[in-house]
């Protein structure tokens, strides 16, 4: 068992120091646990004095004690023993594990508290409770261990990042990631260039504890960044014992658990000619290639960790460790490696009144990435084709010797990429160097040791380099990049720096043996800075795309405080208040105030349960609190700013082109998003905590959501704006139970189970909400399409997909598409056109006889416009001024009315399409077709009626269309 440092609330240990002038004599002995293993670092004190010592590596001690005295033996996680010395001179002391005190000290914001005194929803796990087996990244040790914490890997590749959600998250467009605090440093958890892992730099072997703060009472002390929960990671420290070395390593093997079973080459040759539309003279290859065999492999991983810990002259505990991980992916060329260095030293000065802690962590990660399409391409590629052509001119052929599809002598621009060529010809690498370090000072005031002053200065610095190289004539360069075979030399570099200063004071005192009082107050300052540069060149150095650069920063300023009161170890009250200022908001909205309060009642200590042998722990918790959110992509959302426009918008002056700048959308009134949380829970334990766990019920309401929505064109510099609008409700239940099933000298078996139920609902989304109002999200990569929405009454990120329509015989029917409710934009377009016509001024200068046009022709005209557009878009209001200028000429029409001003209407519709921000090609196709039909219909009828009658017919047609698309029974 690893040695533990005596609790900080114990008296100073002064070996061989006599507390009285009585006659003394030497005693010796050893301290062991209930399994017979020695306990190094156990405290052995003369009761009632400051005289004492600690046990050595073998659990032995030697101490001079007064005659007739008693010794007190303490060790964290074990019941304190008091032994009368008498005439005995040698002792063999067996300590009993105390489940009520096991893991008693829990790390919370800016301090530690006894686990039994917690009033908030807090879960902590130590190394022996973490997931076993290969752990490439820190989050691997936490998966499935804590109720309410959901960790999903973003891919199966080694070292891949994960999406971490605590109670499902509380935001829409703002970040839903929890705050991560590593040894007192809240780290920057924004995205890393190249897709790196936010906490990939932390070696799981160096972690001492994970503490997860879930409810507002626990998280409110971190206020500004804690709406989505907090994960506090504490790394291992030095020991009070002698020098100790530790090594662990492993070798792992990974294979594909299950493959899909596509057609073999022979099956492919036999089946394809039977497919309708395949030419009878289709030519197949002669190869028999299993493309999955070509890309998959048995992956080998190794891990090595070496650490040394000790205590320099019993005044400076220290620990240093190095770790190396090398893990292959099951796809060839995929590989992840990491080197870590973790050092820490904790010297004490001024008779242990001044504690200094210096921590430094460095990591170097190298991730050799494979494109996500490789597996899909291996399943789709023609199995009758070879991996390579075997051509003698491979070095100069398109594809560089790897098979690609050709159209005569030219490679086809639309084809599936050869998956083996993707692996071997593309060099895609992400390298991350990161340093996290901090220095903390902790000073107990002389003469007032209950008051402790703390200072914490931290730095988190990261450099990420993402490179992607492909040679000229690689097959992928004909389907991507600029699609002419030109190779690729991409370089992207990101730098991030996060600096921290925290100054705070802790005070704790027990009055009258029953009144435990604690207080904490502090000041915090944090600065976040990022810079990014990238270039995209050809292998010869020619610029293919414009380089991209940005540099940004923001500041957080905080004042915070906490009060704790416990009466008789049974009744607990905690109250916190944090005030945060963010430079992301204007001065009138810069400060946010986040209070919380919590109550705790240890029922098991009441007289009616205190001696109960079955129920060993029962504590009720109630809490309320508010937290804030300001973590959005834009660091200057309230300021008027400009971005470099596209190269096509450059301005020529002389013989040189100069880039232009375009204004960005902004909201000068943007402010904090606020989440209010109610939590009720209880902790339980039975049979001396052999069975223990907790139950929590919570409800969260988020208001002033930081939400990216569509706005009316012309009201800002973009039709998309991040602002405060919307509300969301989140509620759930968490349950966990653990049981120590077997504990013997050689075997310990603990069983754990946890369950979480959670649901969220958007209760407000926009200024005016309606049934058809929603915001698209969840883009499908490379398609420009969206498959998810934010909508009133639904969970965030609800899938919203097209529904197949069937005729009365149950067969798919194209015409039935107009008779079924469709989650595309026909209803939206109808509503939009209705508003368009309703807002268009009636002009007696425009005449037509369209009033006599059969209604079916009008309906067909709108079907012609709507039907070819298979998109899902959010309708928004139209700028009336532009429509008025297009539709209402200033002068009378003197020419024959058969030449009605179709061009004006075309301009109006074109303006509307721009405002709608719909996918341009399909929309313009529909608009052009509708305009042509409009023009033809205008020429079919003699001018006899005014535009008012025309508009009335339009409205009638739209009413019919609205009924058709909304009534599935028609």
DSSP string, 589-604: G-EEEEEEEEEEEEGG
Query: Residue 498: is its pLDDT beyond 90?
Result: yes
The least confident of 136-150, 320-334, 625-639, 875-889 is 875-889
What pLDDT, in 10s, does the model give residues 354-374? Answer: 999 999 999 999 999 998 889
Structure tokens given for 970: 């028609």
The least confident of 209-218, 569-578, 737-746, 822-831 is 822-831
Structure tokens given for 919: 């996918």
- Stated as kind and residue range, the H or E segment containing 791 is strand 786-791
The predicted structure's pLDDT at residue 359: 94
Question: Mean pLDDT over residues 676-702, rounded?
Answer: 91
DSSP-derived secondary structure letter, 402: B
- Asked whether the beta carbons of 209 and 107 are under 8 A apart, the reply is yes
Phi and psi for 141 in degrees, rounded to 5? -75, -15
The predicted structure's pLDDT at residue 856: 47
> pLDDT band for position 464 (50/70/90)?
very high
DSSP-derived secondary structure letter, 621: E
The predicted structure's pLDDT at residue 105: 60
The predicted structure's pLDDT at residue 1: 37
DSSP-derived secondary structure letter, 374: H
Dist. CA 85–CA 63, nearest whole Å = 11
* Cα 464 from chain centre: 18
Tokens 């009534």 found at: 967
> Which one, of 224, 184, 180, 183, lies nearest residue 198 by Cα?
180
Dist. CA 638–CA 723, nearest whole Å = 9
CB neighbours (10 Å) of residue 170?
27
Dist. CA 751–CA 129, nearest whole Å = 10
Sheet holding 52-54, edge to edge: 52-54, 43-46, 70-74, 81-84
What pLDDT, in 10s, does the model give residues 432-447? Answer: 999 999 999 999 999 8
Question: Mean pLDDT over residues 627-641, rounded?
Answer: 89
CB neighbours (10 Å) of residue 658?
9
> pLDDT band for position 46 (50/70/90)?
confident
DSSP string, 810-830: S-B-SGGGGTS--SSSHHHHH
The least confident of 242-246, 365-369, 496-500 is 242-246
The least confident of 122-131, 326-335, 417-426 is 122-131
Tokens 């960005």 found at: 664
Dist. CA 392–CA 395, nearest whole Å = 8
- Stated as kind and residue range, the H or E segment containing 13 is none
The predicted structure's pLDDT at residue 948: 44
Degrees to nearest 5, angle at CA 462 with 239 and 423 = 110
Buried b / exposed e over 221-252, threshold 16 CB at 10 Å, is: bbbbbbbbbbbbbbbbbbbbbeebeeeeeeee
Phi and psi for 97 in degrees, rounded to 5? -70, 130
Dist. CA 621–CA 617, nearest whole Å = 13
Q: Residues with Cβ < 8 Å from 877, sequence gap 6 or more?
A: 712, 835
The predicted structure's pLDDT at residue 213: 85
- Asked whether the beta carbons of 583 and 527 are under 8 A apart, the reply is no
Question: Mean pLDDT over residues 669-690, rounded?
Answer: 90
> pLDDT band for position 466 (50/70/90)?
very high
The predicted structure's pLDDT at residue 946: 42
- Asked whether the beta carbons of 342 and 206 are under 8 A apart, the reply is yes
Tokens 């009008």 found at: 858
The predicted structure's pLDDT at residue 918: 34
Helix, strand or coil, per DSSP, at residue 477: helix
Q: Which residue has the higher pLDDT, 418 or 612?
A: 418
Helix, strand or coil, per DSSP, at residue 466: strand
The predicted structure's pLDDT at residue 745: 60
The predicted structure's pLDDT at residue 782: 64
Query: Residue 136: is its pLDDT beyond 80?
Result: no
Question: Mean pLDDT over residues 538-554, rounded?
Answer: 91
- Stated as kind and residue range, the H or E segment containing 373 is helix 373-380
Dist. CA 398–CA 746, nearest whole Å = 65
Continuous H helices in 39-198: none
Q: Residues with Cβ < 8 Å from 87, sequence gap 6 or more?
A: none
What pLDDT, in 10s, does the model give residues 82-96? Answer: 888 888 888 888 887
626: left (phi over 0), alpha (psi -120 to 50) or beta: beta
Give the CA distances from residue 319 to residues 206, 313, 379, in Å, rounded to whole numbers and listed in that order: 10, 14, 50
> Which one, of 326, 288, 303, 287, lies nearest residue 250 by Cα?
303
Question: Mean pLDDT over residues 678-706, rounded?
Answer: 91
The predicted structure's pLDDT at residue 591: 94
The predicted structure's pLDDT at residue 133: 66
The pLDDT mean for the chain works out to: 78
The least confident of 155-159, 249-253, 303-307, 315-319 is 155-159
Strands 571-582, 847-848: parallel, antiparallel or unpaired by DSSP?
unpaired
Helix, strand or coil, per DSSP, at residue 542: coil
Query: Residue 200: is its pLDDT beyond 50?
Result: yes
- Asked whether the beta carbons of 72 and 53 are under 8 A apart, the reply is no
Say what the pTM is: 0.72
> pLDDT band for position 911 (50/70/90)?
very low
Percent of the chain with pLDDT over 90: 37
> Which one, of 240, 243, 217, 242, lies nearest residue 229 by Cα?
217
Longest dimension (CA), the chain: 127
- Asked whether the beta carbons of 76 and 104 are under 8 A apart, the reply is yes
Query: Residue 612: is its pLDDT beyond 80?
Result: yes
Q: Residues with Cβ < 8 Å from 359, sequence gap 6 or more?
A: 183, 235, 342, 343, 344, 437, 438, 439
Strands 299-312, 244-254: parallel, antiparallel or unpaired by DSSP?
antiparallel
> Which one, of 443, 453, 458, 244, lies nearest residue 348 by Cα?
443
Percent of the chain with pLDDT over 70: 77
The predicted structure's pLDDT at residue 892: 30
What pLDDT, in 10s, does the model give residues 281-318? Answer: 888 999 999 999 999 999 999 999 999 999 888 888 99
What pLDDT, in 10s, does the model give residues 394-431? Answer: 989 999 999 999 988 899 988 999 999 999 999 999 99
Query: Residue 179: is its pLDDT beyond 50?
Result: yes
The predicted structure's pLDDT at residue 192: 84
CB neighbours (10 Å) of residue 726?
26
């Amino acid at each position: 068992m690893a040695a533990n440092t005596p609790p900080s609330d114990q008296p100073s240990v002064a070996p061989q120091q006599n507390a009285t002038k009585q006659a003394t004599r030497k005693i010796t002995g050893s301290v062991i646990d209930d399994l017979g293993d020695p306990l190094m670092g156990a405290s052995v004190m003369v009761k009632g004095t400051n005289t004492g010592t600690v046990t050595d590596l073998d659990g032995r001690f030697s101490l001079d004690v007064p005659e007739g005295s008693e010794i007190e033996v303490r060790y964290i996680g074990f019941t304190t023993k008091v032994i009368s010395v008498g005439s005995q001179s040698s002792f063999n002391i067996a300590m009993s594990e105390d489940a009520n005190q096991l893991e008693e000290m829990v790390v919370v914001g800016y301090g530690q508290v006894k686990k039994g005194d917690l009033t908030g929803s807090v879960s902590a796990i130590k190394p022996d409770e973490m997931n076993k087996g290969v752990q490439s990244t820190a989050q691997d040790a936490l998966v499935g261990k804590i109720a309410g914490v959901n960790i999903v890997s973003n891919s199966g590749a080694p070292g891949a990042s994960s999406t971490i959600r605590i109670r499902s998250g509380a935001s829409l467009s703002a970040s839903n990631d929890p705050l991560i605090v590593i040894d007192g440093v809240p780290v920057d958890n924004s995205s890393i260039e190249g897709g790196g892992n936010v906490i990939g730099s932390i070696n799981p072997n160096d972690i001492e504890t994970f503490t997860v703060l879930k409810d507002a009472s626990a998280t409110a002390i971190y206020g500004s960044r804690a709406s989505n929960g907090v994960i506090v990671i504490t790394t291992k420290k030095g020991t009070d014992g002698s020098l100790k070395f530790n090594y662990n390593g492993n070798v792992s093997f990974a294979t594909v658990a299950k493959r899909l079973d596509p057609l073999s080459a022979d099956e492919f040759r036999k089946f394809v000619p039977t497919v309708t539309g395949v030419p009878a003279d289709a030519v197949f290859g002669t190869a028999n290639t299993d493309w999955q065999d070509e890309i998959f492999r048995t992956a080998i991983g190794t891990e090595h960790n070496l650490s040394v810990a000790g205590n320099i002259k019993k005044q400076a505990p220290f620990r240093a460790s190095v770790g190396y991980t090398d893990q292959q992916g099951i796809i060839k060329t995929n590989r992840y490696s990491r080197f870590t260095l973790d050092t820490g030293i904790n010297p004490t000065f001024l008779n242990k009144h001044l504690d200094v802690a210096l921590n430094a962590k460095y990591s170097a990660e190298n991730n050799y990435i494979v494109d996500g399409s490789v597996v899909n391409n291996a399943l789709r590629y023609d199995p009758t084709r070879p991996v390579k052509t075997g051509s003698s001119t491979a070095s100069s052929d398109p594809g560089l010797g790897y098979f690609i599809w050709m159209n005569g002598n030219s490679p086809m621009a639309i084809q599936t990429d050869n998956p083996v060529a993707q692996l071997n010809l593309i060099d895609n690498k992400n390298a991350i160097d990161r340093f996290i370090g901090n220095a903390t000072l902790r000073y107990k005031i002389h003469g007032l040791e209950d008051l402790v002053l703390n200072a914490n200065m931290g730095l988190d610095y990261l450099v990420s380099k993402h490179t992607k190289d492909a040679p000229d004539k690689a097959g992928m360069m004909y389907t991507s990049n600029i699609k002419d075979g030109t190779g690729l030399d991409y370089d992207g570099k990101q730098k991030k720096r996060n600096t921290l200063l925290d100054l705070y004071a802790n005070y704790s005192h027990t009055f009258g043996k029953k009144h435990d009082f604690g207080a904490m107050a502090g000041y915090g300052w944090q600065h976040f800075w990022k810079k990014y540069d990238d270039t995209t060149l050809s292998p010869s150095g020619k610029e293919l795309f414009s380089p991209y650069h940005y540099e940004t920063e923001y500041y957080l300023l905080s004042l915070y405080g906490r009060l704790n009161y416990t009466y008789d170890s049974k009744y607990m009250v905690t109250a916190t208040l944090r005030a945060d200022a963010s430079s992301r908001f204007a001065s009138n909205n810069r400060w946010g105030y986040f209070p919380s309060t919590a109550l705790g009642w240890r029922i098991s200590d009441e007289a009616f349960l205190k001696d109960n042998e079955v129920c060993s722990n029962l504590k009720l918790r109630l809490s309320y609190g508010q937290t804030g959110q300001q973590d959005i992509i834009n660091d200057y959302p309230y300021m008027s700013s400009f971005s470099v426009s596209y190269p096509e918008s450059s301005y020529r002056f002389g013989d040189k082109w100069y880039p232009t700048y375009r204004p960005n959308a902004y909201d000068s009134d943007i402010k904090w998003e606020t989440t209010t949380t109610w939590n009720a829970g209880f902790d339980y334990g039975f049979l001396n905590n052999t069975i223990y766990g907790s139950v929590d019920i919570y409800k969260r309401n988020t208001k002033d959501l930081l939400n990216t929505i569509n706005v009316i064109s012309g009201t800002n510099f973009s039709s998309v704006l991040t602002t405060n609008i919307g509300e969301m409700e989140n509620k759930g239940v968490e349950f966990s139970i653990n049981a120590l099933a077997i504990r013997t000298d050689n075997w310990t078996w603990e069983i754990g189970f946890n369950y979480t139920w959670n649901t969220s609902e958007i209760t407000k989304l926009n200024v005016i909400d309606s049934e058809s109002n929603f915001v698209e999200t969840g883009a499908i990569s490379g398609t420009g399409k969206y498959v998810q929405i934010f909508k009133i009454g639904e969970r965030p990120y609800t899938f919203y997909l097209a529904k197949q329509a069937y005729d009365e015989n149950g067969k798919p029917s194209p015409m039935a598409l107009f008779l079924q409710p469709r989650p595309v934009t026909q209803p939206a377009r109808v509503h939009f056109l209705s508003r368009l016509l309703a807002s268009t001024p009636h002009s007696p200068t425009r005449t037509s006889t369209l009033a006599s046009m059969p209604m079916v022709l009008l309906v067909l005209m709108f079907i012609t416009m709507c039907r070819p557009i298979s998109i899902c878009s959010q309708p928004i209001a139209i700028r009336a001024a532009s429509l008025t200028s297009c539709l209402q000429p200033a002068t009378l029409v003197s020419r024959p009315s058969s030449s009605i001003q179709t061009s004006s209407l075309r301009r109006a519709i074109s303006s509307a399409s721009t405002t709608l921000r719909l996918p341009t090609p399909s929309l313009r196709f529909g608009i052009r077709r509708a305009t042509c039909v409009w023009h033809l219909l205008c020429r079919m009828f003699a001018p006899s009626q005014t535009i008012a009658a025309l508009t009335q017919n339009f409205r009638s047609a739209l009413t019919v269309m609205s009924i058709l698309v909304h009534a599935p029974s028609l």
